[in-house]
Structure 1
Amino acid sequence: MTEQRRLAAIVSADVAGYSRLMGRDESGTLAALKAMRQEVVDPAITSHGGRVVKTTGDGLLLEFPSVVNAVRCAVEVQTLIAEHSDEVPDDRRIAFRIGINLGDIIVEGDDIFGDGVNIAARLQEIAPSGGICISSRVHDDVRDRLEATFVDGGTQLLKNIVRPVQVWRWQAGTADPAQIASAPITLPLPDKPSIAVLPFQNMSGDQEQEYFVDGVTEDIITELSRFHSLFVIARNSSFSYKGKSPDVRQVGRDLGVRYVLEGSIRKSANRIRVTGQLVDSVTGNHIWAERYDRVLEDVFAVQEEVTQAVVAAIAPQIELAEQLKAARQRPENLTAYEIALRAYAHALEGRDKVDREIVDIAIREAKEALSIDPSCVLALHALCVAHSNALYTQVADDREHALKEVTRAVERAMELDGTNAMSFAQRAIIVLLSGQLDRYPDALVDARRAHELNPNDTFVLRLLGTLEAAVGQHEQALKYGKQVLRLNPRQARNHMAYSLMAFASFGAKNYREGVDWAARALNDMATYVPAHNNLIVCLVGSGEIDKARTAFDVGRALAPQYFKTRLDGTSSYAQPSDRSRAITFLRIAAGLEDPSAAEGLR
């Protein structure tokens, strides 16, 4: 039997904080909800031509033949509820979250299914209490037909939805669009235990200790990330709270996590005190708290104790053996570690722009740390990142020497810690930098091993996505890019993830999407060279030759040697057809080939 399909506007509505309301006053909540349905919700649905598809204890799924009427109904309902609840205490107030989508649905009897329904449900989950979230498709149809003001909420990665969804928001009683725009989108809690580690506070009064304090926080994040049973928010999003005293419940809402770890470090002479507390961000309850007083040379043992205690508090099923696997090789000399932290910070800075001076600083600091402690794995990784950036951006004075240096550093790191994800990742990067296309499968093996060792490391995820796209697995690459974005919901700059999405989109011939992703990357970091390259070739792919030529001029001015090697035939794509297409499109933008050369390749 052929399934029945139709285009419809789908409305998903749910009572915000329903479990809390029921726990406080079950009979009162049920009576109030019933009255609200009878007096406000049901009459609005009927008057706007909608139908109730199904109900749950606290939710509704509605179908409308008209998307304009669907939005009108939602706005009317939210406005009336806000008016009726004006004098109701906050802890007893009933408010709906509403999501609306326009899409193709599958009809079975009175029920409906399909992506059109699923997206509406996910939009409802991220809507604020008393607010509405709609998809861009809905917004396109209603923006000139309604007086209601919707504000761009950005592109969101919704749970179990393959493609990012552009979201628009409306909030009852908010007249100023800027207020709506500043309202955060609520992220649903992941299915597995989730945690954010806030930057530990430096209580020493010595700014020089900031590197050490930040390093402790980063190590805790890294160690927690080794456990596959945990969803750990990445470092950049956690560090957006550095220097602040945020409300833990708000942090949980902002980052979409259940648990938040916060703490402080006080260093005096050769002693150190570390305090930490684990808080349930939903209830505000303190799950665990501890204070550690140790002599300075025991600091890494203290970090291990803190990490193991946190894991034991939120995931008691994790066995001791898995905790032991989380241990990694650490430098014995704190001074070397502090210098290595500085080196790594400078190496990461050199990744975002063409700057030989920053690269040299990172290399010098890494070597200084290694002269103090030759077994400092972090310093070896900093050396790898610095040389890799010099090679990629074409600022290395001697490519052969730089390749030998990064290879030696990786081999030494592997000897010291054969289970460190970053070491496997750096070994994979060497293959990319050397351009040995026949070794890309080996690089993928290393990248996948790195991902197994540390599944929440966004550096590893980006690398894995890049390699998957390079060998033609574009959809898998996009999946990894989206995972990076989910792990970093508050990262100030996501340019590398956006650039990966553009790189994979070009491979998949989704040129318009690639242009959008590359533009986002450059909006975050205007000096990020790979994003310039991705923007150029995607513009040619979408037929925007004049814009591509302008973009090429900008990119070449920023990194002339990089683009010279690209025009000479260098490409990160290993798949022959993708590689040929990328090189040809870049040469078209440079004016070295006629635009007609793209016709058979698009």
Structure 2
Amino acid sequence: MERRLTAILSADVVGYSRLMGLDEAGTLERLKACRRELIDSTVEEYHGRIIKLMGDGALVEFPSVVDAVQCAAVVQRKMSGRDDGVPEDMRIQFRIGVNLGDIIAEGDDIYGDGVNIAARLQAIAEPGGIFISGTAFDQVAHKVDVGYVALGEQRLKNIADPVRVYRVLLDPAKVGTVVFAPRAHSLGVMLLALTALLIAAAGAFVAWQWVSPKRPSIAVLPFANLSEDQSQDYFADGITDDLITDLTRLSNLDVISQNSVFVYKGKPHVLEEIRRALGVRFVVEGSVQRSGDLIRVNAQLIDASSGLHLWANRFDRGASEVFAVQDEMGRQIADALGLKLTRSETERIARPPTSNLEAYDYYLRAEQAARTGRRSRMLEALALFDKAEALDGRFAEAFAADAHASSFIWRMTYDDVLQSAPARKRAYDKASRALALDPDLPSPYAVLAIMQAVDRRYEQAIASAQKAVALGPGNAEARMAVAYVQLVWGNHADAATAVRTALKYDPNPSAIDRYTAGMVFFLQHDYERATDSFQRARDGSENNGDFVTPLAMAYIRAGRIDDARATVAEAARLRGGRECLAGWRLANANLRSQDLAFTLDALREAGLPEWPFGFHGDEQARLTGAEIAATVIGKVLRGKTEPSKGPAIMQIQLDGKAAFRSPNQMMTETVSVKGDLLCEQSENAFGQPDCGPVYRHTKSTDETGFTYVNSSKVFYFSAAD
């Protein structure tokens, strides 16, 4: 017994029993003549082996699926005119199914699902027609002189999993076309609609090419990983990412960003839904198969409004030629769309990002990890970027992606991944290095713009953001950088314009960009859109609680009081009671004072407490600035913190240098007194001073004596020299 991958052709005579009942002798004679004059010679010509002949059909094995489909096409074309002199109800017609699959060979016979699928495809084919499986189509597309109709996944009798099914078009005028049939209740309905679909699709394409002035828009869907090793998923993602990057560099094409297309990873591609959701006319989809040092990339360009395939190709290369494959794909897609590339665009697409394939491999793995936004994978991403950069110190795209990931960690205050100060420094350093290597990259400028805005260097921030847009007018990251800078600068109308443009290229942005959009809409008093943006930010975040609080202020302004208060309660639960107005004030200190006050008023009305853990101090017992200084400066403060009541200690020198330690926090900082507030300043909280009051306890039995509260802590302490 032997297992092998092979092409199987299953043929069946339509209405055999009825034909035999009408004219047994005549039917047998005509069937024998058909086999003798057509079937046997055609099978032999295309190197097939007849496994078995039944009275009403045949099972044939081919070493090549291209030969199997070509043989089927020749037979059906010749059969169409063979019985012209015979009454219609007496004519012999075949149904044929072709599959590429795994079979079991025993003696001269073959068995298994590979055979069964071919037989089931033959059973649902129309008289005179050919149905092939998706595995067969992937190998024969554009290699046989036929066209195809993609009928989607179909349930076949006694086959466990759905099978992709394609109908073969024998009309010479349809050679090379691949049409997606619309969803329907049955195969019969889809087939009846085929002719109208082809005419409409062709007409629509001509109209777009010659009449419509609108720029073409395209989405590159995540390429499927067909490798036996599923850990190669990152490589398929990398092919997708790089093709998107190449197409984004074309000045006359609107390209949907990575954020939005990766929503469809691992999901069925329903073109009409994708067209509506992403607002695109064209879609690229494909697959990647990697085996050792060999790669196979299949790709096709589809008109999403009609289902018509405009281009398809398969690339079989060595892994070292991956950049050549990406170059050819980008140029061929541009050709299929009728785009004329400038010399600089051609050179840009052809330029490989690195000559070191090992560095490229680490870079792809890092990008896949960073794309998740999860704390657990961000540290992994940074380590992988380090390896890529160590192998190729001139790998500009790796430094740019590293800067983006480091900036994200800094903005999200993922201190357990990388503390604020080193994260900030890393983002600046990597962005600067990327631009030194390749000054035409838009992403590092976008990273710098965000960071400069947080650092309140607004003139530099807007200059960086504008440079990012100039280099990448279709780059959603660049547009969102403009939106953020204009937001914190108080130019709400300009910020809203930038957001809308960014959403055109990235209809499903990351949670942090949804949050930025929500803030822009909120400050423009567009509470419906603000609510929608904040809801999507909350739902799209990988980390519970990251974007819950701002939704409460949108609910309040939209008049949804109960929803607002429920949201505050949800934030308190998810954040362990740490969410408070003081924390919001500190995190958004770079907003204009009137904008910050506007958000704080809404959150206060929603019920967000002033201090963490719901702390309320007795204002009669509050210390003045002079009393605070006398109590804490040059002292050791010992006590406990909320919520665990774990031990904590703060040591403050006379010059204000200080250290704070608790079971879950350790930091060095500078302590000062401003007005009647005690302030801690470190690299946390974007370097902003975190200030709060100090209260004397009025109960003589209280062993701690004082309470200090700010945005992140409630510290009960007693002071000693």
Give the TM-score of the pair, scaled to structure 2.
Answer: 0.49
Task: Assess if the C-alpha contact under 8 Å between 2:518 and 2:533 holds in 1.
Answer: yes
- 1:40-439 equivalent positions in 2, closer than 5 A: 191-243=214-266, 246=269, 252=275, 255-326=278-349, 330-350=353-373, 355=375, 357-396=376-415, 398-432=419-453, 435-437=454-456, 439=457
**Per-residue deviation, 1:211:** 0.8
**Per-residue deviation, 1:251:** 5.2
Give the 3 Å change call, closer, same or farther, for CA 474–208 of structure 1 in structure 2: same
Which among 499, 510, 522 is matched to residue 481 of structure 1?
499
Which among 581, 594, 601 is matched to residue 577 of structure 1?
594
Q: Which amino acid aligns with 1:310?
A: I
- Indicate yes or no: 2:480 matched with 1:462: yes
Give the 3 Å change call, closer, same or farther, for CA 557–365 of structure 1 in structure 2: farther
Give the structure with higher Rg (CA): 2
Give, in whole Å, the separation in 1 of the partners of 2:195 and 2:242: 43
Give, in whole Å, the separation in 2 of the partners of 1:240 and 1:577: 37
Give, in whole Å, the separation in 1 of the partners of 2:477 and 2:345: 23
Give, in whole Å, the separation in 2 of the partners of 1:255 and 1:513: 18
SS of residue in 2 equivalent to 1:211: helix
Give the 3 Å change call, closer, same or farther, for CA 517–266 of structure 1 in structure 2: closer
Which among 567, 571, 585 is matched to residue 551 of structure 1?
567
Give the TM-score of the pair, scaled to structure 1.
Answer: 0.58
Task: Assess if the C-alpha contact under 8 Å between 2:580 and 2:609 holds in 1.
Answer: no
Task: Assess if the C-alpha contact under 8 Å between 2:289 and 2:295 holds in 1.
Answer: yes
Residue-by-residue CA offset, 1:122-164 (whole Å, 9 max, x unaligned): xxxxxxxxxxxxxxxxxxxxxxxxxxxxxxxxxxxxxxxxxxx
Identity of aligned residues (%): 30
Q: Which amino acid aligns with 1:315?
A: G
Q: Which amino acid aligns with 1:466?
A: Y
Query: Partner residue of 2:182?
Result: none
Give the 3 Å change call, closer, same or farther, for CA 548–282 of structure 1 in structure 2: closer
SS of residue in 2 equivalent to 1:276: strand
**Per-residue deviation, 1:369:** 2.6
SS of residue in 2 equivalent to 1:292: strand
- Indicate yes or no: 2:501 matched with 1:450: no
Give, in whole Å, the separation in 2 of the partners of 1:194 and 1:304: 20
Residue-by-residue CA offset, 1:328-353 (whole Å, 9 max, x unaligned): 66132333223223323333333xx6
Task: Assess if the C-alpha contact under 8 Å between 2:581 and 2:600 holds in 1.
Answer: no
Structure 1: any 5+ residue segments left out of the alignment?
1-85, 94-188, 595-602
SS of residue in 1 equivalent to 2:547: helix
Give the 3 Å change call, closer, same or farther, for CA 329–421 of structure 1 in structure 2: farther
Task: Assess if the C-alpha contact under 8 Å between 1:343 and 1:366 holds in 2.
Answer: yes
More strand by share: 2
Query: Partner residue of 1:104?
Result: none
Query: Partner residue of 1:597?
Result: none
Query: Partner residue of 1:471?
Result: 489
Task: Assess if the C-alpha contact under 8 Å between 1:363 and 1:382 holds in 2.
Answer: no
Give, in whole Å, the separation in 2 of the partners of 1:284 and 1:395: 44
Task: Assess if the C-alpha contact under 8 Å between 1:362 and 1:382 holds in 2.
Answer: no
Task: Assess if the C-alpha contact under 8 Å between 1:472 and 1:507 holds in 2.
Answer: no
Give, in whole Å, the separation in 1 of the partners of 2:304 and 2:528: 39
SS of residue in 1 equivalent to 2:458: helix
**Per-residue deviation, 1:367:** 1.7
Task: Assess if the C-alpha contact under 8 Å between 1:260 and 1:280 holds in 2.
Answer: yes
- Indicate yes or no: 2:522 matched with 1:499: no
Give the 3 Å change call, closer, same or farther, for CA 318–283 of structure 1 in structure 2: same
Give the 3 Å change call, closer, same or farther, for CA 563–454 of structure 1 in structure 2: farther
Task: Assess if the C-alpha contact under 8 Å between 1:331 and 1:376 holds in 2.
Answer: yes
Task: Assess if the C-alpha contact under 8 Å between 1:340 and 1:369 holds in 2.
Answer: yes
Task: Assess if the C-alpha contact under 8 Å between 1:567 and 1:587 holds in 2.
Answer: no
**Per-residue deviation, 1:532:** 2.6
Residue-by-residue CA offset, 1:297-352 (whole Å, 9 max, x unaligned): 231132122112211221333323333245566132333223223323333333xx
Task: Assess if the C-alpha contact under 8 Å between 1:527 and 1:558 holds in 2.
Answer: no
Structure 2: any 5+ residue segments left out of the alignment?
1-188, 197-211, 617-721
Give, in whole Å, the separation in 1 of the partners of 2:346 and 2:368: 28
Task: Assess if the C-alpha contact under 8 Å between 2:450 and 2:485 holds in 1.
Answer: no
**Per-residue deviation, 1:244:** 5.5
Give, in whole Å, the separation in 1 of the partners of 2:462 and 2:589: 14
Task: Assess if the C-alpha contact under 8 Å between 2:404 and 2:443 holds in 1.
Answer: no
SS of residue in 2 equivalent to 1:531: coil
Give the 3 Å change call, closer, same or farther, for CA 463–322 of structure 1 in structure 2: same
Q: Which amino acid aligns with 1:391?
A: W
Task: Assess if the C-alpha contact under 8 Å between 2:225 and 2:289 holds in 1.
Answer: yes
Task: Assess if the C-alpha contact under 8 Å between 2:284 and 2:300 holds in 1.
Answer: yes
Residue-by-residue CA offset, 1:226-269 (whole Å, 9 max, x unaligned): 22311223334434444466466775566443333233333333
Give the 3 Å change call, closer, same or farther, for CA 325–580 of structure 1 in structure 2: farther
Q: Which amino acid aligns with 2:444?
A: S
Query: Partner residue of 2:458?
Result: 440
Q: Which amino acid aligns with 1:459?
A: E
| Between 404-413 and 537-546, the greater mean CA deviation after superposition | 537-546
SS of residue in 2 equivalent to 1:274: strand
SS of residue in 2 equivalent to 1:264: strand
- Indicate yes or no: 2:551 matched with 1:535: yes
Give, in whole Å, the separation in 1 of the partners of 2:272 and 2:221: 13
- Give the count of matched residue pairs: 404
Q: Which amino acid aligns with 1:276?
A: A
Task: Assess if the C-alpha contact under 8 Å between 1:413 and 1:423 holds in 2.
Answer: yes
